[in-house]
Amino acid sequence: VVAERGRHKHFMAKEIHEQAEILSDLVLRSTNADRTRVEGPASEVDFSATTRLVMVACGTAFYACHVAKYWFEQLARIPVEIDVASEFRYREPPVQAGDAALFVSQSGETADTLAALEYCKGKAGQIIGVLNTTESSIGRASDVILPIHAGPEIGVASTKAFTCQLLTLLKLAVSAGRQRGTLSAEDEARIVRQLYSLPRLIQDAMTAEDEVRDIAHWLSSARDILFLGRGPMYPLALEGALKLKEISYIHAEGYASGELKHGPIALIDEHVPVIVFAPRDALFEKLVSNMQEVMARGGQVLLVTDEEGARIAQDGTARVLKMPTLDPLLAPIVYAIPAQLIAYHTAVTKGTDVDQPRNLAKSVTVE
Ligand code: G6P
């Protein structure tokens, strides 16, 4: 077991560090040699007549669905519904033949996700499993399997499976956009070229690790931490908060920053670190003004953005984590790295059991 961890102190650290390479393989596996098209299993799923996409999962896999909702709506103009499996399975939601039902699971064995899938059998037009473990209960019950090829994930807190789920879902959204005529060949080629830059972007994001180690001392003494984002960075904020609470036991919440004034702003004082995921996308300015509202109330902001974003917005922030400049479409995948590093180093600083956090299981096979 020690050997498998290699030079890393924890499986989680190893799994965070593997991501550039694993994502690079995943890009190569599923694009053509000309780097203009998405190919492979993602392009075999037929969305041409789909009237709705229903995505269901638990935990981190659910947040991957939540990010992907933005991609499917934007690139393929498909109405998307998402839900956590434990709610979906019992609320008897109407599911129809025009629906594609998609289930995301690292283990392929999560009881609630499997039950939600069984509910959709015979109702939805097709059942898609986005899985790391394809030889699994969810794999056997799916009509189509999209493997995410993350390799074995040992750390209880999911890291590389999350980014591989995201990349797989992004490719699926691109392919759906092509089939539905909402994404031109030129736009698809542009996105595929961006995918090829992903490993370098991930490596660049990893260079923030020293800074994160330093910041971890500050974060580890907090009682509550808020994560903010807008658009697809909102579910990333939720994932960042989940990761942090899972392994550091610090209370953390993710929020859509536009919702701040509807409640969480009441929590803000100088003792609550606020982590803001701010790629320079269409909502950057709105996010910055939300962040300024936080700072005006004494909130200590950790701004995660690129060089130009820092130049524009770093005044008054407590710390800045520099990310590479990128196409906003890739931001949820690349900004997952600082989210994971923040959780990891905060937990290590606190001295918790990072790979085996209390009360949690890697795979929840009972209800
Ligand atoms: C557990 C794990 C999480 C995971 C969730 C869903 O809670 O601790 O890391 O996200 O189950 O698991 P699955 O295998 O279905 O992705």
| pLDDT tens-digit readout, 101-153 | 999 999 999 999 999 999 999 999 999 999 999 999 999 999 999 999 999 99
The burial class, CB within 10 Å (0-12 / 13-18 / 19+), for 179 is: middle
Cβ of 156 below 6 Å from ligand 1 = yes
CA separation, residue 366 to residues 109, 111, 119, 130, 141 (Å): 9, 6, 17, 20, 17
In the reported structure, the alpha carbon of residue 323 is separated from the centroid of ligand 1 by a whole-number distance in angstroms of 27
pLDDT bucket at 358, cuts 50 / 70 / 90: confident
Q: HSE on the CB side for 144, CA within 13 Å?
A: 18
What mean pLDDT comes out for the span 299-320? Answer: 97
Average pLDDT across the chain, whole number: 95
Q: Which stretch of 2-11, 29-38, 168-177, 321-330 has the lowest confidence by average pLDDT?
A: 2-11
- Pocket probe mutation, ligand 1, options 15, 16, 55, 58, max atoms within 8 Å of Cβ: 58
Relative to the CA of 60, which ligand 1 atom is closest?
A: 10
Q: Is the pLDDT of residue 1 over 60?
A: no
Contact (CB, 8 A) for 102 and 77: no
Q: Is the CB of 233 under 6 A from ligand 1?
A: no
Find, among 310, 286, 354, the residue nearest to 211 by Cα: 310
Between 15 and 359, the more confident residue is 15
The answer to whether 241 and 253 have CB atoms below 8 angstroms apart is yes
Q: How far is the CA of 99 from the centre of ligand 1 (A)?
A: 25
Residue owning tokens 């890291």: 159
User: What's the 110 CA to ligand 1 centre distance in angstroms?
Assistant: 7
CA dihedral 248, 305, 151, 146 (to 10 degrees): 120
Which of 345, 26, 346 lies closest to 160 in space, CA to CA?
Answer: 26
Q: Would you tell me how many other CB atoms lie within 10 Å of the CB of residue 47?
A: 20
* Residues contacting 67, CB < 8 A, separation 6+: 166, 169, 232, 235, 236, 332
For residue 262, what is the DSSP state?
A: G
pLDDT of 36 reads: 94
Query: Is residue 338 within 8 Å of residue 205, measured between CB atoms?
Result: yes
Q: Which residue has the tokens 């995301």?
A: 104
- The rounded Å distance from CA 105 to ligand 1 centre is 7
Given pLDDT bands bounded at 50, 70 and 90, which one contains residue 5?
Answer: confident
pTM of the model as a whole? 0.97
- SS3 percent helix, strand, coil of the chain, rounded to 5, is 50, 15, 35
Instruction: Kindly provide the residue ranges of all beta strands, DSSP E only, lying in the chain, ordered along the sequence.
Output: 52-57, 80-84, 99-105, 126-131, 144-147, 224-229, 251-256, 273-277, 300-306, 319-323
Helices (H), 6-58: 11-17, 19-29, 41-44
- pLDDT tens, 45-89? 999 999 999 999 999 999 999 999 999 999 999 999 999 999 999
Q: Is 362 a catalytic residue?
A: yes
Residue type, 89: R
Question: Among 123, 245, 350, 362, which one carries the catalytic annotation?
Answer: 362
Element (H, E) at 114: helix 111-120
Q: Are 152 and 8 in contact (CB under 8 A)?
A: no
Residue 197 has pLDDT above 90, yes or no: yes
